[in-house]
Structure 1
Amino acid sequence: MSTRPITRILPAQATQDGAGVRLLRALGYQPQVRMDPFLMLDAFSSDDPDDYIAGFPAHPHRGFETITYIVDGHMRHRDHLGNEGDLKAGGVQWMTAGHGIIHEEMPQQENGLLRGFQIWLNLPATEKMQPAHYRDIPADAITTAELPEGGFIKLIAGTIPWATCPLKGPGQGVVASVTQPLIADIRVMAGQSVDIPVPATHQALSYVFEGRLEAGDQVVPSGHTVWYGQDGDVIHIAAAPDEADGVRVLLLAGKPLNEPIAQYGPFVMNTPAEIEQALRDYRDGVLAQ
């Protein structure tokens, strides 16, 4: 087995979204900072309620999937279809916007740490107008493998052949067979490492959110993404040599769609004309029908 080379190391960009939630945008802050099929990766983490309490009031989406992973804290999802999700620490919501959905994500705490991620996963052109779907996945449904000294792999989506047993994540979107996403929360302790197999068809990156990652002859601090080339068949995850508490990363890998992307805010389609139609549908109240 050979290790995939590192091709880029990029800092996430501080921004605000929703009704003023402060976050770091690791993917999607510019069109060229996407990794097909992933459109966006946001990381939010604060114990100051002023940074998150206003949440993400009702807003529309069309043309892609959102995966929200709560590491710490408590957030509620509601949408126009009547779905409700009570996202607590370790839980995931997997939402296929498809033709259109209007939802809200609101913190259910007035103080304390709220930490997590939202990922935007693109849909192929043939599936962008499918009916919307929603799945709520509690923490105890997430497959977890223990690593030495307190490390772990929490598999949110995909399959990892680990030892003699494959890990199968529960978060499978309606068309996951197309992009075949692999999403995992991985913690590796000091002096330890793990090699994660990734198919040759997939692009991959890791986002460092605790500690520092050893990346070849470089050390990558928290708040940065590490992009990997497609030569090689494993992603090597190891803590920096002097990182006593280890390192924790969110690993994303997926099969590219290689399709044109037209985006306007919460709408992601393939052509400008389709974006104009989405705006008309939202204005006319038929986007989410």
Structure 2
Amino acid sequence: MLYDILIAPFADFAFMRRALVGSIALALAGSPLGVFLILRRMSLTGDAMSHAILPGAAIGYLVAGLSLWPMTIAGLAAGLIVAVGSGVVARATILREDASLAAFYLISLALGVTLISLRGSNIDLLHVLFGSVLALDDATLILLAGIASLTLAGLALLYRALVIETVDPGFLASTGRAGGPTQMAFLGLVVLNLVGGFQALGTLLAVGMMMLPAASARLIARDITSMLAIAAAFGIASSYIGLVVSFYASLPSGPFIILVAGGFYVGALVFGRAGGLLRNLKPKRHLEA
């Protein structure tokens, strides 16, 4: 009975297996990045960057249709241009980085939708915005696996600098010039994962896999290592549960995966040991943090 419910959909249907593997790859790589975004108070940066890749994906679509590599390469280029451009504007003008990033992503979102509308249908627009996790092919899985491997290797190399800059950015700045390159490399990994997530979940939902498990982990754990592990676990669990339930309930898989991640977040918001509502309502002992 349990086999028929929990295992059979993946054993019997190749598209379900591809969807699960692709979603797990996104969870393993994107959720840890989300933890650092939250700790560095850059949560909205992920959302802004997910919109920023849209005009690049639209240009790739205009050139080659719904083809994997043209949309991926063009989306990556657009995301990097917005990331670097907003940083340059923030340093060269009186605008802060959040304001310049907001301006760039709003322009990018409007431009991307306009470009897709020039040639495509509403179905094409929905595909780009919300993805189709059940339609992943082998080439897309290879891309997602490559992005996940590169991201995990990059995080391993940047981990020490990222942690130091997150906890005490002034210290890293005083000991060398690693802060700037670390920030740009980190943003590059964020853009890369959003481009990969766009292939499965679309530009509007890709950031959900990155941020919701990370926000849940932040409410449960206090040290960064535990947050990274919990975020990845929540992302994987959301992928599996979302695919199984959506399969039997005939619901859209991508949005339901994000809804399950949202359910984990609500649970952590209420019961989280590190900052949930129940913990904050509980009377604290004298000198207890």
Decide: shared fold, TM above 0.5: no
Q: TM-score, normalised by structure 2?
A: 0.27
The higher radius of gyration belongs to 2
Q: TM-score, normalised by structure 1?
A: 0.27
The structure with the greater share of residues assigned to helix is 2
Q: Which has the higher contact order (CA 8 A, sep 6+)?
A: 2
